[in-house]
Each structure stands twice: as C-alpha cells, then as structure tokens.
Amino acid sequence: MASAAAFDALARWLDGLQALKGASPNTIDAYRRDVSDFLGFLAGHLGGPVGIAGLKALTARDMRAFLAHERARDVGTRSLARKLSALKGFVGWLAEREGFDATAVLSIQAPKFKKPLPRPIAPDATKELLARVEIQSEEPWVAARDLAVVTLLYGCGLRISEALGLNGRDAPLADALTILGKGGKERRVPVIPAAKRAVDAYLALCPHPKSPEEPLFRGVRGGPLNPRLVQKVMEQARMQLGLPPSATPHALRHSFATHLLSAGGDLRAIQELLGHASLSTTQAYTAVDTVRLMEVYNAAHPRAKD
C-alpha cells in the first residue's frame, strides 16, 4: 500500500490533467490504475508503505524492477509503455512541486513497440457492407437506424462514440457538425448528402419522439443505442460478405481516411477531420496507402515477378 499523502498527490495530479489539459475520463481512469499499481508494487518491493519520501528516493533499479515485474505478468509492450508514461508524468509533476531530482524515473526508456497499421476496408467492399447492414433487421426503422449510424462513421469519419453522442438538436443534420472528440476537443466535420439522407430516413421511421436533449439514435425501448448493437450488426454483415474480423465499425473511420488520402486528400485536412492531436497519428494512413500501392504494383506490373 501507499501512504495517504501519496494517494492525495495522485488525486491532485489527476485533477490537474482533467482540468488543465482536458484529459478524457478513460485516460484519467487508466492513469489512476497505472500509478496505483506502481505504488502497490513499491510497497512489496521496498517492504512497506510508500510515501512522498519513498517516491523522492526512487532509483533506476526500482524502475527496472517494476518493468520486469510487469513483463512477468504478461503485460504487453504497448500497455507497459502507457504505464511508464503515466509514472513519468506523475513523478515529474511531483518533482516540480517537491523540488527533487526525478532523473532516475524520467530517464527510463519506454519499451519499443510497433504500432499496427490501420486496417481499412476496400471501397467496393465498404459499399457492399453498408448495403448489407441495412438488411440485417426486419424492423424497418431499426434497419434505417443502423444504416444511418454506419453511414456517419464512413461518410464523416466519426468514432462510434461520437456518432452515438449526437442528440435530437443535431437533426436534421446541417452541412457540418461540431463534434466533441477525445479530450474534449471540438472539430467541425462536413456532412455528405448520403449521411443526411440516411439520418432523415431513420428519423421518418423512428417510433420514438425526437427531443433536443435525447440521443439521436435510440434503442428499441427508446433509450440510448448501445454501441455493442452496432458492432453486432457489422459483424453479421461482414461475415455474410466474407470480410475479415478487422471490418469493424472503427474500420469505417479508417476507411474514410484512407479513401480520402487515395483520392488526393490533404494530410493536414484529414488530420483535422479525424480530430487527431498529432499529425504523426494521421501519417499512419500514408503507410497504408503505400502498402496498397505496392500490392497493386506487384499484382499488375509485367516485370514485378521477374
């Protein structure tokens, strides 16, 4: 266990992340778990509760012992890198306030991991997938609802949480939507005519009255639509078409970005449309486009197999 002072410091650091940097609730929860796990490890590693003084005295050996402990628990490289990022953030913040040297913690290198490339769906397969989603339900308004949601994901590059976060006040859809994304960041997203038509068709059939404060997309009983239902209908549709398991609702967002880039879209503009904080995140789609280009080249070029 850790001392009350250590947990109080953790709470103040997390409050600052949320208030000053707009960290999302999911990020706050993950960082709280990461640092709490570390404090618990230190109690066993050092033989007693750890307070502020113990955090000031951390050594590189302590940090390496923690990383080895986590690897022994089969914690993945990506999760380990996130944990180390949380610990560095917390200890660095504490060092500024307590006036101690945190080099032993801050100098530890994060384990290397290769981010997987986004896995978009081919344009023709995307069209077939959307058409197949529409016929999964025998209830006309549910079918129209499902099509409206996936059309927004693909046509506007929305995350599923962003699409399901729309309220009645957002309809009928304007030419652009203001979307509240990760970390409370707002962005403006153009709405294509197909998305407008799909949402209008859904609203015309939906048996639940539209209210400005209620979710735009409703479940059968009138409550908010569960994202799992969208995932399920996508799963049914992609299995019928023989598409891989990677053809998920989030893959439609990847497809939006990749297809725009393939059509000559500007990388900076795509970054803004997706709401990525860093251009490096969006640049992953250039690698996808290059991979696809080489596949076409190898399949079609007369000298590719010489």
Q: Which of 196, 218, 253, 259 is catalytic?
A: 253
Q: Which of 82, 182, 197, 292 is catalytic?
A: 182
Rounded CA-CA distance 95/104 in Å is 11
Return the amino acid letter for 213. E
**C-alpha pair distances (Å), 208 with each of 214, 219, 228:** 10, 9, 20
Q: Which of 83, 159, 187, 218 is catalytic?
A: 159
Concerning whether 159 is annotated as a catalytic residue, the answer is yes
Given a contact cutoff of 8 angstroms between Cβ atoms, the answer to whether 154 and 212 are in contact is no
Rounded CA-CA distance 142/176 in Å is 25
Q: Which of 31, 154, 202, 285 is catalytic?
A: 285
Rounded CA-CA distance 1/41 in Å is 8
Concerning whether 301 is annotated as a catalytic residue, the answer is no
Rounded CA-CA distance 11/228 in Å is 32
Rounded CA-CA distance 54/121 in Å is 51
Concerning whether 253 is annotated as a catalytic residue, the answer is yes
Residues with a catalytic annotation lie at 159, 182, 250, 253, 276, 285
